Amino acid sequence: MLYTLDTANTKEDLLQILALQEENLEKSISSSELKDQGFVTVHHDFDLLQEMNAPFPHVIARANDKVVGYTLVMLRKMADRIPVLIPMFEKINQLSYQGQALSSAQYFIMGQVCIDKDFRGKGLFSALYHKLGREMRADFQFCITEVAVRNPRSMRAHQKIGFKPLFQYKDDDSEEWVILIWVL
């Protein structure tokens, strides 16, 4: 299946991101699919997604004019906008990487990555991230994300493209997370 990589430039792009997100939220999939295929945790609304899309737009993949994958850019200035991510930002500000305090580093957060079921296992995850890296490396040193320990497919995929584990912790709901860093 052919796809093209681009950045989210229109309202329709953002609406299609939200539709793909909705299909892959933990609440929207079966427990076996959750275990085998992975899931997304955060549900964004249109206004927040649009705000996150500037000044650095999300990277998307399209096939037949449909968004089939995305990587969402989230800047640290939005640390308090999504309550479930506040503990991650607090932890990041206490960490360092190769002797550099992350609180003073130039990084952005991978706000979420998702691939349509029909496009998984075809290299799209890597393609999206590498385009994102090319788009962001002039302004940032690192991309940081966190992955739930119970999402091994996502963990393997992130590590395969070069993300390194930085820190593991449990949040207030006893969900276990690994903070990962990718050098751009």
- pLDDT level of residue 27 (50, 70, 90 thresholds): confident
Dist. CA 109–CA 103, nearest whole Å = 13
What share of the chain in percent tops pLDDT 90? 75
Q: pLDDT digit string (tens) for 91-136? A: 999 999 999 999 999 999 998 999 999 999 999 999 999 999 999 9
Residues 6+ apart with CB under 8 A from 101: 95
Residue pair 139/106 in contact by the 8 Å Cβ criterion = yes
Residue pair 140/44 in contact by the 8 Å Cβ criterion = no
Q: pLDDT digit string (tens) for 52-98? A: 999 999 999 999 999 999 999 999 999 998 888 888 999 999 999 99
**Count of beta carbons in the 10 Å neighbourhood of residue 168:** 12
Instruction: Give the model's pLDDT for residue 175.
Output: 86
Would you say domain 4-183 falls under CATH 3.40.630.30? yes
Instruction: Give the model's pLDDT for residue 14.
Output: 98
Parse the chain into domains and list their residue ranges.
Answer: 4-183
